[in-house]
């Protein structure tokens, strides 16, 4: 809105020319989202406490988690609110991709909200049924896939990291591919969100990485120089990514160990889906496996654990899956697991960035 209100005045007030630049608006979207979370955080936490939206802790998890019982959850509402507000303020709202990203974020946020809400009403550790949740996620991802597929100029070719000349065209299969990426990312983040700050830290790292990719993909000259596919209009997604980084850091302030609030499914499902959608829009789909490698590792640990458990009739590879529980049960202090996982996430993001040159 600021862009639409103030930029047109640049003819009389030349300083307003600055609102034209994506870089400037990305920085301010980030700061705006951060401030919204930072300032409103205590009030939201107090409200959640008053509404008794406290986390139910499963008794089969690590013992160190029992003391977290009653920690307010559904803090994701604050994150989504901050991202939406900052994006609406700073992005060019005539941009189709911005609305796709916002739509996926809010729609999957709603699924998570219903899940959390049911959990709170029933006061048990499960909300929506797994099948129900999966179906709803698929519907949102399908809508996103269809909208992009029919959008003029959006390519159905997939970028393969490290291989500049390999770009398979999936045709209508790209719609299914979009669903796989979005639903996969959403659930991977959800699985990872089991220690204080464990999901939101890497989410901010992923958003920051894609912020760079969005900017260069939507910039004719940079795209040409880096020999990546130029996609007109995608640069504006950098503003959305900036808002995600800011909101993520603002939330981390309160979610840092020992957490005063959890994001809930409303946060994990929506932010996971949003990074999936961003990977699709920026045409760096497969790269998400690397940028969000930490989420992939956590998910694989669950797949291997469950598979092995079933095959062997009850034996385990890890002390407990997802992987963060394994290290907790090995005796690592929670902050140590969290910070070490963040370090891995940063390293993976750096490797992913290097693909801009290593191709």
Q: What is the smallest separation between the CB atom of 130 and ligand 57M, expressed in angstroms? A: 9
| Pick 116 or 236: Cβ nearer ligand 57M | 116
Residue with tokens 């920026």: 282
CB 283 within 8 A of CB 95: no
Residue nearest to ligand 57M (CB): 61
| Pick 177 or 309: Cβ nearer ligand 57M | 309
Q: Which stretch binds ligand 57M (CB under 6 A): 18-26, 57-65, 136-144, 146-154?
A: 57-65
The rounded distance, in Å, linking the Cα atoms of 273 and 300 is 18
Q: Which stretch binds ligand 57M (CB under 6 A): 27-35, 58-66, 82-90, 178-186?
A: 58-66
Q: Is 120 in the site for ligand 57M (CB under 6 A)?
A: no
Each residue 177-196 as x (binds ligand 57M by CB under 6 A) or -, in order, gives -------------xx-xxxx
Q: Which stretch binds ligand 57M (CB under 6 A): 8-16, 223-231, 319-327, 348-356?
A: 319-327
Span 253-282, contacts to ligand 57M by CB under 6 A: 255, 259, 262-265, 268
Q: Which of 2, 27, 57, 226 binds ligand 57M (CB under 6 A)?
A: 57
Q: What is the smallest separation between the CB atom of 39 and ligand 57M, expressed in angstroms? A: 21
Binding-site size for ligand 57M (CB under 6 A) equals 30
Which 3-state string (H, E, C) describes the chain?
A: CHHHHHHHHHHCCHHHHHHHCHHHHHHHHHHHHHHHHHHHHHHHHHHHHHCCCECCCCCCCCHHHHHHCCCECCCHHHHHHHHHHHHHHHCCCCCHHHHHHHHHHHHHHHHHHHHHHHHHHHCCCCCCCHHHHHHHHHHHHHHHHHHHHCCCCCCCECCECCECCCCCECCCHHHHHHHHHHHHHHHHHHHHCCCCCCCHHHHHHHHHHHHHHHHHHCCHHHHHHHCCCCCCCHHHHHHHHHHHHHHHHHHHHHHCCCCCCCCHHHHHHHHHHHHHHHHHHCCCCCCHHHHCHHHHHHHHHHHHHHHHHHHCCCCCCCCCCCHHHHHHHCCCCHHHHHHHHHHHHHHHHHHHHHCCCCC
Q: Is 55 in the site for ligand 57M (CB under 6 A)?
A: yes
Q: Which of 35, 61, 160, 164 binds ligand 57M (CB under 6 A)?
A: 61
Span 71-90, contacts to ligand 57M by CB under 6 A: 73
Q: What is the smallest separation between the CB atom of 105 and ligand 57M, expressed in angstroms? A: 16
Q: Phi and psi (nearest 5°) for 191?
A: -70, -35
Q: Which stretch binds ligand 57M (CB under 6 A): 31-39, 99-107, 241-249, 320-328?
A: 320-328
Q: Is 249 in the site for ligand 57M (CB under 6 A)?
A: no
The rounded distance, in Å, linking the Cα atoms of 11 and 110 is 42
Each residue 282-311 as x (binds ligand 57M by CB under 6 A) or -, in order, gives --------------------x--xx--x--
| Pick 13 or 311: Cβ nearer ligand 57M | 311
Contact positions toward ligand 57M, by CB under 6 A? 55, 57-58, 60-61, 65, 68, 73, 190-191, 193-196, 255, 259, 262-265, 268, 302, 305-306, 309, 316, 320-322, 325
């Amino acid at each position: 809105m600021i862009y639409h209100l103030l930029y047109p005045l640049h003819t009389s007030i030349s300083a307003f020319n600055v609102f034209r630049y994506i870089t400037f608006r990305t920085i301010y979207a980030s700061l705006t989202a951060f401030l919204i979370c930072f300032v409103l955080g205590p009030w939201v936490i107090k409200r959640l406490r008053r509404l008794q939206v406290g986390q139910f802790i499963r008794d089969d998890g690590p013992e160190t988690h029992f003391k977290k019982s009653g920690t307010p959850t559904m803090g994701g509402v604050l994150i989504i609110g901050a991202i939406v507000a900052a994006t609406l303020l700073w992005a060019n709202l005539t941009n189709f991709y911005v609305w796709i990203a916002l739509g996926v974020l809010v729609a999957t946020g709603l699924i998570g909200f219903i899940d959390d809400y049911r959990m709170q009403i029933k006061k048990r550790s499960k909300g929506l049924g797994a099948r129900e949740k999966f179906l709803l996620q698929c519907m949102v991802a399908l809508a996103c896939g269809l909208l992009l597929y029919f959008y003029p100029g959006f390519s159905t070719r997939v970028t393969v990291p490290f291989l500049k000349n390999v770009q398979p065209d999936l045709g209508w299969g790209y719609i299914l591919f979009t669903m796989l990426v979005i639903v996969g990312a959403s659930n991977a983040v959800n699985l990872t969100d089991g220690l204080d700050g464990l999901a939101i830290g890497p989410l901010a790292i992923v958003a920051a990485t894609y912020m760079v990719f969005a900017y260069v993909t939507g910039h004719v000259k940079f795209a040409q120089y880096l020999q990546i596919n130029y996609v007109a209009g995608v640069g504006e997604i950098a503003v959305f990514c900036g808002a995600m980084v800011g909101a993520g850091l603002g939330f981390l302030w309160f979610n840092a160990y020992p957490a005063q609030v959890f994001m809930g499914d409303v946060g994990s499902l929506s932010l996971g889906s949003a990074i999936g959608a961003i990977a699709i829009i920026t045409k760096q789909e497969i790269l998400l496996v690397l940028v969000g490698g930490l989420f992939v590792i956590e998910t694989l640990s669950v797949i291997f654990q469950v598979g092995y458990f079933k095959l062997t009739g009850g034996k385990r590879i890890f002390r407990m899956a997802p992987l963060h529980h394994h290290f907790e049960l090995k005796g690592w202090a929670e902050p140590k697991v969290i910070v070490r996982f963040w370090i891995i996430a940063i390293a993976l993001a750096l490797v992913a960035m290097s693909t801009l040159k290593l191709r």
